[in-house]
Amino acid sequence: MQASQSPHHDGSELYVSNIAPEVGEKVTFKVRVPDDYKFEKALIRIYHDGEPRTFEMKPAIKGEKESWYQVSVQILNTQNCYRFAFIDKGKYEWLNAKGLFDHDVHSNNDFQIVAIPDNPEWIKSSVFYQIFPDRFARSGKVDVVPDWAYPREWNLLPRGRSKFTGQELYGGDLYGVAEHLDHITDLGVNGIYFTPMFPSRSNHRYDATSFDVIDPVLGGTKAFLELLKLAKKNKIRILGDLTSNHCGVGHSWLAKAKKNKQSKERSYFYWDKKIKWGYVGWYGLESLPKLNFSSNQLRKAMYEGKNSIVKKWISPKFGMAGWRIDVGNMTGRQGTENHHTEVMQGIRKAMQEVNPQTWLVAENGDFEAGDLNGLGWQGAMNYQGFMRPFWNWINRNSEITGGFQGLPFAMPKINGQQLVASIQEFNSTIPWRSLTASMLLLDSHDTARFRTVVLGDTKAHISAMTMMLTYPGVPSIFAGDEIGLEGSWGEDARRTINWQDRSNWDHEFMDEVTKLISLRRNQDALINGGLRWVAVEDEYLVYLRESKKQSILVMVSRGPVNATIDISSLGYKVTSTLYGQEAKGKIFSIKSDCSTQGVWVVNS
């Protein structure tokens, strides 16, 4: 069925005059109301110093089908929650970030605005490309085989769950990335997210033995500086990956702590004589000593000090564009100790001091809504509010990832209403700016490949790419997805790219991805627009992205579809097709015997 038309507000520029005001500044809030929605009075309810205050909204613009109401309110606090009330005889209804309700609601789902400087402007028009360094490209310029590694021929598949897991070394390096940077620029992406590049005792490098240099196996710091120079020339930003929660068992910090109980490094860890190796490891693993942020010395080394790890790599000398924080949800948390908020905000503060234009995004930062309140992580890898529910909706391969979703059972098959409900559940607990600064992904180095999730269905994969590249956030494409690589779980998905023989590449799919990336980076509504659901059906979704300059309508289906899309009640008509199915007018039909999609410009 068509989504019911009701009052709408989100945190985008059409509805909020300034998403990042200063305390004391007035902000104008707007609501769009269908003309057939009847009420006598509209109010905004906002907290001032913890006490709710209400201000009446006034008519602003009268449209053909909808009208705008607005009010200007002074912002008195750093964090501000607000919602809207519509009053009529014998009833009132609340509009919050989760929807419209005819009963009292809690502030947990209120809209939020944060009175601190905005996130970097550049992330709004960015598309990232995720590279697992060992598997992208091998230059032949590096001849370093560490003692922990099992060398593997480049075009062989990973051997799966065995003693080799995490230790098969294919020999990808940063010179190889530089040699194939044209592939990345041809796609049109303007950012690369590298999984860790620090020395370690594994191919994934989440067990760093040092945070001070780039792994010699990758070509070392010299290769990294050369790549940075080339990337900058091609206007590509580099995002690093940092394990603030733990280091590796081979790290010099641990060696010094073991050798000298009076050393500052001793305070960096949790010590427990009941544990065989004497210290707490992440998930009980000896290989990943958990970092203890009750230590002021550790805080200085990690992020507070002038030459701290966080600051060093985003400094002008190295110029990384920011950090992706591994298991950000666990950083600073251990048993009865909880330094999580202090550490999260401390990392953010350190980055702002060095370069306010850097981006801080956390893995599993979506587990607790408070982590995305605008003051800590700027965004999360959006597994919970996008990837997981989307997988469940398009589900062709239910057994593939129950574990990754944190579930001890196969992933469920859900309908469109459940998908949108899941998305709104996530979006309604965080500020709009945290949603748009979160990383959008269909898969990653930790999951199955999306092509395998849809059992090789290229059409379904294109629909999925269409949604990811038109939805609010910062899209990230796992290297190799664009050519149709497969993989059933994390290690299996970390397959190499065959640069010598490209006959098995899905070139047609790559062409479509390139077109979609171009749309995402150049269409104003996809850069600055809000999100408004127009139709939510079992098999397909329709939504609007609207900015001050442009309105775009998007439709994606998970399979065969025979639909009539009616946008006449919004006062809109399709005027041109940007991608996919052709359409025109206020009412149009979409018929397909497979997954399909459409991206259209609409005007009143």
pLDDT of residue 399: 77
Q: Domains in the chain, please, with CATH?
A: 26-114 (2.60.40.10), 121-245+296-522 (3.20.20.80), 249-290 (no CATH), 530-603 (2.60.40.1180)
Average pLDDT for consecutive 10-residue bins of the chain (604 residues)?
A: 75 97 98 95 97 97 93 98 96 96 96 97 98 98 95 94 91 98 98 98 97 98 98 98 98 98 97 97 96 98 97 97 97 97 98 98 92 97 94 87 63 93 96 98 94 96 98 98 95 96 98 98 98 97 98 98 95 97 97 98 95
pLDDT of residue 404: 56
pLDDT of residue 406: 62
Pairing of strands 237-242, 191-194: parallel
Of 240, 354, 248, 335, the residue nearest 293 (C-alpha) = 335
Check: CB of residue 566 under 8 Å from CB of residue 59. Answer: no
- Which pTM was predicted? 0.96
17: CB partners within 8 A, 6+ apart: 27, 28, 29, 72
pLDDT of residue 409: 75
pLDDT of residue 3: 47
Of 384, 285, 292, the residue nearest 330 (C-alpha) = 292
**Secondary structure letter of residue 598 according to DSSP:** E
CA distance 265 to 267: 5
Pairing of strands 51-56, 99-101: unpaired
